[in-house]
Amino acid sequence: MRGRLSPLFINMLKEKVEDLLQAAFDERPDLFLISFTMGGSNDIKVVIDGDEGVKVEDCIFVSRAVEHNLDRDEVDFSIEVTSAGASSPLEFPRQFKKNVGRSLEIVDIDKRKETGKLVTVTDDAVSIEWKAREPKPVGKGKVTVQKKWSVAYKNIRQAKVVITFN
């Protein structure tokens, strides 16, 4: 179907794509959806992540799960499936869990910003640890202290993995 599509048809198409994506993720529970958008020209954009990362084959799998179940004679569309990427913000607990042990930069809703090693992830919050130099409690000079910060998901404004090159 070419030309202008009715809003009802667009909604039906979006629901069908959502169902096809859910079926793909049911088949591959190691993968999960980060975002799904559909533009006015039926441009379908899907961003995925995986518990063990995302390979090109994973993107192809999700793309085919949608593409092979839509009729191009019925509707013209394009589909793009990508991974979240190393510099993308972490949004879901599953993304935090797979990054335990890595360095994260977290900014909370009060604009507090800390960078540290992700040490714990629960259903409600994450904790990072880092070392800082602080003035000695008594006398001159500084001492290295271990710091820890736990922050609830609902209070995280942004969290990103810090990429380091050694």
| pLDDT(141) > 60 | yes
Q: What is the pLDDT of residues 29-68, one digit of tens each?
A: 999 999 999 987 889 999 999 998 899 999 999 999 999 9
Question: Which among 47, 45, 52 is positioned nearest to 29, based on CA atoms?
Answer: 52
Residue 114 has what pLDDT? Answer: 97
pTM of this structure: 0.79
Q: What is the pLDDT of residues 18-30, one digit of tens each?
A: 999 999 999 999 9
The structural domains of the chain, ordered by start, are: 7-83 (3.30.300), 93-161 (2.30.30)
Written as six digits, the tokens of 48 are: 């995925």
Q: Stretch 147-164: mean pLDDT, rounded?
A: 95
**pLDDT band at residue 9, thresholds of 50, 70 and 90?**
confident
Q: Stretch 67-91: mean pLDDT, rounded?
A: 89
| pLDDT(4) > 70 | no
Amino acid code (one letter) for 4: R
Q: What are the C-alpha distances in Å from 149 to residues 91, 98, 104, 120, 136?
A: 18, 19, 12, 10, 21
| pLDDT(16) > 80 | yes
Residue 148 has what pLDDT? Answer: 97
Could you tell me if residue 85 is left (phi over 0), alpha (psi between -120 and 50 degrees) or otherwise beta?
A: left
Residue 40 has what pLDDT? Answer: 77
Residue 98: which residues within 8 A CB-CB, separation 6 or more? 49, 51, 52, 53
Question: Which among 126, 115, 119 is positioned nearest to 93, based on CA atoms?
Answer: 126
Q: Is 85 helix (H, G, I), strand (E, B) or coil?
A: coil
Residue 10 has what pLDDT? Answer: 77
The DSSP 8-state label assigned to residue 40 in this structure reads T
**pLDDT band at residue 123, thresholds of 50, 70 and 90?**
very high
58 CA to centre of own chain: 15
